[in-house]
């Protein structure tokens, strides 16, 4: 049975979901071998290309992932696009089990007129650009305008706003919006009326956040704070109960010059609460529009079921519905919400379910060739994967380039240059 032999497992995607699933499998099975396939030349997914540069402590999870990658029962194969260079069916033939952990690489469209104008970007692309994602390195957003509008108020929206407001020399430090040097908040106290009474009902982390906002919006600043605000060259604010209707073009029609927002009000109670337009609109001039209303997963391969509405692979606790031996974890399993620890918990569940199925004899019996078969397919197609030790060479190069300019690292942005550095 597969019990005595080496279970050959592969994971698609090397973000937190891929690495935490691998960690669980290696820890709880003494012989399992895990291959991780990644489309980028470099590992770690959104930990490298999403998490903001002023949150360096979040990136410490990379140390744990590196320990996993160093296991002699784990191998990293970068530069392999699953669905293009190798199909999911080919992986299923080569392995006892396949785990899809390929995240959410698209963005939710605004679906309003003017969205295509220069000056309008998805937060996903903007974050990719400031984090050195190769496909976004030529985004070149024009930052010379006075006002940027960020649509959405989630964590990613706040990251984007903070990065726009922060002078580059402060980006090594963690500072929260309200204390951000050289900035002043514009918060309308009317937006916060009645909040005091409702704060008691909300869960703790959100409660602290609401208290902070309430204080900033309604309390008179202290002398030092007032002086700091008075001299601040930059300002930020939060607007509630507004829904984007149209990106307004400049007079020559060639770029974004503003945004039309519908004023809304809340109707209904509890879960049924909806924001409905009052009929009033508001125009806000701006030179940059960043839509931060969510990431979205893509279908990877026609052989894998996909729910286009929820943007996830339909699954039960990580077992892909109707496809034995196929599993999923992370954002492609749950949808694009939740931090790294949420992703860790759900990846451990997927790992556990897979090992249960293995134990119960639900996975194919007999040996499987694993990477040997996939390597042959890839080389016949002219695809040359990179290894984890290749990544460590690139990592050392980035760190050494960073030392020259006083940064933790200077990221390599050009895949051709990376391959050259690896002697390819």
Residue 131 or 218 with smaller CB distance to ligand FAD: 131
Q: How far is the CB of 217 from ligand FAD (least distance, A)?
A: 25
Q: Of 36, 293, 300, 340, which one is the catalytic site residue?
A: 340
Catalytic-residue membership of 87: no
68 is catalytic: no
Bridge partners, 74 (sequence order): 34
As a whole number of Å, the CA-based R_g of the chain is 24
Nearer to ligand FAD, 16 or 287 (CB): 16
Site residues, ligand FAD (CB under 6 A): 12-18, 37-40, 45-46, 50-51, 55, 58, 81-83, 101-103, 105, 127, 156, 159, 295, 300, 330-331, 338-340, 343
How far apart are the C-alpha atoms of 54 and 101, rounded to whole Å? Answer: 26
Name the burial class of residue 295, with classes exposed (0-12), middle (13-18) and buried (19+) by CB atoms within 10 angstroms of its CB: buried
Known catalytic membership, residue 341: yes
Tokens representing 395?
Answer: 């990592």
Which residue has the CB atom at the shortest distance from ligand FAD? 15
Catalytic residue among 337, 341, 345, 414: 341
Q: Minimum distance from CB of 205 to ligand FAD (Å)?
A: 13
CB of 254: closest distance to ligand FAD in angstroms? 29
Minimum CB–partner distance for residue 295 and ligand FAD (Å): 6
* Minimum distance of ligand FAD from residue 308's CB (angstroms): 17
Report the distance separating Cα 41 and Cα 394, nearest Å.
10
- Sequence-distant (6+) residues with CB within 8 A of 276 are 264, 265, 266, 267
**Shortest Cβ distance from residue 403 to ligand FAD (Å)?**
25
Q: Which is nearer to ligand FAD, 54 or 211 (CB)?
A: 54
Q: Considering the complex, state which of residue 82 and residue 313 has its C-beta at the smaller distance from ligand FAD.
A: 82
Q: Token pair 């997927």 is at which residue?
A: 350
Q: How far is CA 279 from CA 102, 118, 180, 239, 240, in A?
A: 41, 28, 36, 17, 16
Q: Choosing from 55, 70, 188, 278, which is the catalytic residue?
A: 55
* Closer residue to ligand FAD (CB): 182 or 338: 338
Contact residues for 129 (Cβ-Cβ < 8 A; gap 6+): 136, 137, 139, 141
Interatomic CA distance for residues 187 and 421, integer angstroms: 50
Question: By C-beta, is 20 or 236 nearer to ligand FAD?
Answer: 20
The Cα 128–Cα 139 span in angstroms is 9
First to last CA, the chain: 41
159 a catalytic residue? yes
> d(Cα 394, Cα 419) in Å, to the nearest integer?
9
- Active-site annotation, residues: 55, 159, 340-341
């Amino acid at each position: 049975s597969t019990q005595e032999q080496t279970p050959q497992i592969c994971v698609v995607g090397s973000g937190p979901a891929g690495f935490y699933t691998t960690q669980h499998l290696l820890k709880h099975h003494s012989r399992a071998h895990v291959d991780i396939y990644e489309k980028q030349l470099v590992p770690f997914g959104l930990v490298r290309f999403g998490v903001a540069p002023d949150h360096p402590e979040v990136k410490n999870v990379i140390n744990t992932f590196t320990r996993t990658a160093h296991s002699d029962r784990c191998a990293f194969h970068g530069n392999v696009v699953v669905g293009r260079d190798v199909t999911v069916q080919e992986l299923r033939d080569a392995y006892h089990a396949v785990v899809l952990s390929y995240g959410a690489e698209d963005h939710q469209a605004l679906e309003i007129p003017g969205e295509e104008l220069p000056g309008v970007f998805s937060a996903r692309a903007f974050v990719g650009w400031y984090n050195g994602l190769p496909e976004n390195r030529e985004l070149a957003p024009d930052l010379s305008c006075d006002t940027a509008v960020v649509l959405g108020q989630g964590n990613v929206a706040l990251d984007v706003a903070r990065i726009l407001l922060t002078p580059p020399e402060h980006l090594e430090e963690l500072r929260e919006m309200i204390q951000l040097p050289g900035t002043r908040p514009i918060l309308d106290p009317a937006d916060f009326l009645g909040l005091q009474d409702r704060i008691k009902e909300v869960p703790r982390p959100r409660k602290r956040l609401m208290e902070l906002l309430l204080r900033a919006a309604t309390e008179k600043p202290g002398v030092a704070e007032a002086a700091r605000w008075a001299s601040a060259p930059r300002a930020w604010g939060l607007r509630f109960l507004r829904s984007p209707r149209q990106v307004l073009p400049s007079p020559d029609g060639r770029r974004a010059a503003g945004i039309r927002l519908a004023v809304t009000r809340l109707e209904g109670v509890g879960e049924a609460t909806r924001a409905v337009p009052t009929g009033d609109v508001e125009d806000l001039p701006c030179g940059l529009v960043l839509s931060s209303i969510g990431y979205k997963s893509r279908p990877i391969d026609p052989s894998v079921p996909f729910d286009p509405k929820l943007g996830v692979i339909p699954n039960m606790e990580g077992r892909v519905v109707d496809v034995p031996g196929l599993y999923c974890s992370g954002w492609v399993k749950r949808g694009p919400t939740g931090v790294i620890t949420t992703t860790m918990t759900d990846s451990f569940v997927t790992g556990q379910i897979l090992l249960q199925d293995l134990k119960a004899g639900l996975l194919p019996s007999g040996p499987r060739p694993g990477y040997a078969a996939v390597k042959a397919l890839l080389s016949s197609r002219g695809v040359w994967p990179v290894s984890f030790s290749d990544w460590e060479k690139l990592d050392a190069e980035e760190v050494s380039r960073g030392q020259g300019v006083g940064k933790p690292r200077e990221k390599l942005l050009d895949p051709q240059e990376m391959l050259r550095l690896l002697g390819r």
